[in-house]
Structure 1
Amino acid sequence: MSQLIISVSGLRGIVGETLTPDIACRFVASFAASAPPGPIVIGRDGRTTGPMLRNAIVAGLAACGRDCIDADVAATPTIGVLVRESGAAGGVQISASHNPPTYNGIKLFGADGRVLDAVSGAKIRDGFLEGRAGWCAFDKVGEVRQAEDPHTPHLKKVLATIDVEAVKKTGFHVLLDSNHGAGGVLGVRLLEALGCQVESVGVEPTGQFAHVPEPTAENLTDIASRVAQGDCAVGFCQDPDADRLALIDENGRYIGEEATLALCVRRAMEVGRTNGPIVINGATSSMSTLVAKSFGVETFRSSVGEANVADMMIARSAAYGGEGNGGPIDPSVGYVRDSFVGMAQVLDLMARTGKPLSQLADELPVQHIYKDKAAVAAERLPALFEKLTAHFQDADADTGDGLRLQWPDAWLLVRGSNTEPIIRMIAEAETVDKAKALCDQARTLLG
């Protein structure tokens, strides 16, 4: 039997094995015991097990005296906006992101509409493991109400970041692949509001994924062909909870997730969002760093994880940020990775420059990422990091999140997995061969 994946940001498991209604109920009961007074927003992606878990979660929260605002099917960033707009005490998103259909999970939001920070998340995780709950008396049980339109506040915030009329004038023909997750509900509304001719694929939130849910090149070959054959200007591909966005250009070429953030950073710089730094995580491509640098804007790197990026963005008063898995974070919308921000702002960049996506992608700094992994027990990591630091003496070393080695034209990140007894090695350089060589050298030092 697989293990329940539980961390400071929530939990994830196989439904019927490690994730059961009882576990979901007890986990949100711990959340209710820690959250400030007020209702809790609940949303879900399109997975078939979502309604069942929603019922268990509503029961658990109501039994703790919490009123619930049910957004039904909604994207993860939409839940963040709705928490703030409704003055809620927090939010619960039912999703397993890009995991296979057998999985589902729970992601928690604070009253500020962002994924819980590490300290708050650890408190809830520990409370769950200890059996902490805030069960209430019969006359204090909470109630549930449906959110009339959970998507409009998010839509308005995204549209406010761009020149809507300029995009409308182009009449872009676009393909949207939501893969039967949560993204199609708002995605179609957004693109139609921008005057796009939309070819919709998998926008019904049935949870019956048409392809492997993670929006990588190998999983999107059919979609890429449809973009090219359909004479589309761009293909937008979301993951099931729509916080990540991959791009396909008009020629059917997979531009990818790293380019999503880099193009959004370029667009942010070009419209004057240079009054603060950008923040990315330690595993994100330097493309965004180099784009920001060309505008005289500094980049800071956080530990891997959306909550860590958001923490540093707030601490540094960042103008923009995100993660290289296709998750731009625009503070004017919310401190949550957001595929809708990505779609709107990439279209805005195309409209402003008059350039096709292929040309914009080709203008990005050339960088290549290579990834590898190896079985290494957690207790061996400190000694391994010492060996790596001694071997790569010409690199600047940072041990804030595993070990990150930085050279002027390359970097290597070695960090332990949060869920498996392995290490992940990620390198980036101007060529794939050089990036692979850095990972290979690290592997030879494992002993």
Structure 2
Amino acid sequence: MEHFGCDVVLLNEAPTGCFAHNPEPLPENLGELCEAVKNHRAHLGLALDPDADRLSLISEKGIPLGEEYTLALATAFLLPKRKGKVVVNLSTSMVIDDLAAKNGCTVERTKVGEIHVAKHMREIGAVIGGEGNGGVILPDVHLGRDAMVGVAMILQQLADFAGPLSELHAALPQYVMRRRKIELSTGLDPKQALEKIAQKYRHETLDTHDGVKILRDQSWVQVRASNTEPILRIMSEAQSAAVAEKYCAELASVVAA
């Protein structure tokens, strides 16, 4: 970043073997970074996970933008310059669909997992892709999530815009996402839970490529088994927090019934 002409303030850069906080770059773990951005009057803050494949952004106001908006900003930067197909997973924000449509492009979705996204990107020749957890994939560099690729794209975008990151973010379609976890240690059978949901909501528009995703007007809710933990994940997205939270609670109650 210094090579790009940036003045960089590093936090917790010493490899002590101990994390100063939970290393997942979620808003609740980024309090120190948010304060540092404000104290140093920085243009932005950047939070990477330990293997540098996820990137979270902090605005100049010290406010986390949320991981979903990392890929959204990268997509908004690239598509006006290079039209093409976009690949994301089924749990990624609808903001990507809005940005693609605005630029005359299309979005294709895969199961959750970098390997699924990258494989489909290669198959269809996508120009950009990734996942809503802050993972940006730019195939011109390589077919893998890369936080530093995301950093370079965001810095160039800010330089071109010549305005604050908060305004770039505010210009994008705004959605709210909510998440819940349901432990499987209670003896809950994930396959049966998903079948129950698919049956109950069979008259709605469903996508069953990765769990069960119920598609509604400018909103959705999805239940899927985690690839890495013994849990069911419930995710919802809407234009208001109240609706997103309502959908999460609704599906959680169906699973628990």
Q: TM-score range by the shorter chain?
A: over 0.9
> Does 2:96 align with 1:285?
no
Q: In the alignment, what sits opposite 1:27?
A: none
Matched, 1:261 2:71: yes
Instruction: Report deviation, 1:368.
Output: 0.7
Percent identity of equivalent pairs = 38
Aligned to 2:58: 248
**Alignment correspondent of 2:47:** 237
The 5 A counterparts of 1:295-306 are 295-306=103-114
Tell me the distance in 2 between the aligned counterparts of 1:416 and 1:257.
21
Partner of 1:202: 12
Q: Distance in 2 between matches of 1:433 and 1:346?
A: 30
Q: Per the alignment, do residues 444 and 207 of structure 1 end up closer, same or farther by CA in structure 2, a change over 3 Å counting?
A: same
How far the C-alpha of 1:253 sits from its partner, in A, is 0.7
Q: CA deviation at 1:265?
A: 0.3
TM-aligned CA deviation for residue 319 of structure 1: 0.8
Number of corresponding residues? 255
Is 1:341 aligned to residue 145 of structure 2? no
Matched residue, 1:166? none
For 1:371 and 1:278, the matched residues in 2 are separated by 24
Q: Which deviates more, 222-231 or 287-296?
A: 287-296
What is the rounded CA distance, in whole Å, between the counterparts of 2:151 and 2:204 in structure 1?
37
Q: Secondary structure at the match of 1:346?
A: helix
**CA contact 2:86–2:105 (8 Å) conserved in 1:** yes
| Cα distance in 1 between the residues matched to 2:203 and 2:101 | 23
Give the distance between the partners of 1:210 and 1:386, measured in 2 at CA: 42
Residue by residue, what CA displacement relative to the aligned partner does 1:227-256 show, whole Å, maximum 9, x if unpaired?
A: 011010011111111111110111111112
Deviation at 1:409, TM superposition (A): 0.7
Query: SS of the counterpart of 2:10?
Result: strand
- Cα distance in 1 between the residues matched to 2:209 and 2:79: 28
Query: In 1, Cα distance between the equivalents of 2:183 and 2:236?
Result: 18
Cα offset, 1:268, TM superposition? 0.6
Letter in 1 for 2:37: V
Deviation at 1:385, TM superposition (A): 2.7
Question: Mapping of 1:42-441 within 5 angstroms?
Answer: 191-271=1-81, 273-274=82-83, 276-376=84-184, 380-393=189-202, 395-441=204-250
Between the aligned partners of 2:48 and 2:218, the Cα distance in structure 1 is 31
Q: Is the 8 A contact 1:417 1:424 kept in 2?
A: yes
CA contact (8 A) 2:194 2:224 kept: no
TM-score normalized with structure 2 length: 0.93
Q: Return the offset for 1:291.
A: 1.3
Q: CA deviation at 1:304?
A: 0.5
| Matched-pair contact (CA < 8 Å) for 1:290–1:365 | yes
Quote how far apart the aligned CAs of 1:386 are: 3.4
Structure 1 counterpart of 2:195, which letter?
E
How big is the shift at 1:197?
1.1
Higher Cα radius of gyration = 1
Shift of 1:381: 3.3
- Once residues 245 and 208 of structure 2 are traced to their aligned partners in structure 1, the CA distance between those partners, rounded to angstroms, is 21
- Give the whole-Å Cα distance in 2 for the aligned partners of 1:215 and 1:383: 33
Report deviation, 1:376: 4.1
Moved over 6 A (4+): none
Q: What SS does the corresponding residue of 1:328 show, helix, strand or coil?
A: strand
Question: 1 CA distance for matches of 2:29 and 2:70?
Answer: 17
Give the partner amino acid of 1:411: W
Q: Which moved more, 1:293-302 or 1:397-406?
A: 397-406
Shift of 1:392: 2.8
- Displacement after TM superposition at 1:382 (Å): 3.7
Deviation at 1:391, TM superposition (A): 3.1
Once residues 410 and 279 of structure 1 are traced to their aligned partners in structure 2, the CA distance between those partners, rounded to angstroms, is: 19
